[in-house]
């Protein structure tokens, strides 16, 4: 039903194959758009997205910690150890 397609990466301009298997996977997941970047450019994009970390003090143990969101004074912040112990 699906045939391999040659697409052009919008990032690097190189051609890449959108395989029949990938097309089937996209259809199963309900994705309506074909990929616009080759696998190498998708990989670079995923790894380059570094989150900014903010300094905070754990509301439970008082130890300094770093979190991927800007802490607000009205909400407690927990270090990873204390946060993990709170999960149900």
Instruction: Tell me the per-residue pLDDT of 37-63, one tens digit each, with 9 for 90 and over.
Output: 998 888 886 555 567 899 999 999 999
Residue 77 pLDDT > 70: yes
8, 17 in Cβ contact below 8 A? no
Residue 69 pLDDT > 80: yes
Q: Coil, helix or strand for 65?
A: strand
Identify the pLDDT of residue 59.
94
Question: How many folded domains does the chain comprise?
Answer: 2
Q: 69 and 38 share a domain?
A: no
Q: 42 and 59 share a domain?
A: no
pTM exceeds 0.85, yes or no: no
Q: 41 and 59 share a domain?
A: no
> Which range marks the domain in which residue 37 is found?
5-48
């Amino acid at each position: 039903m699906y045939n391999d397609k040659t697409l052009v990466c919008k990032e690097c301009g190189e051609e890449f194959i959108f395989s029949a298997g990938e097309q089937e996977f996209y259809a199963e997941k309900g994705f309506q758009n074909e990929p616009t970047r080759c696998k190498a450019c998708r990989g670079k994009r995923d790894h380059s997205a570094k989150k900014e970390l903010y300094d905070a003090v754990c509301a439970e143990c008082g130890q300094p910690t770093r979190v991927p969101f800007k802490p607000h004074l009205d909400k407690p912040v927990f270090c990873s150890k204390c946060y993990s112990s709170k999960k149900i």
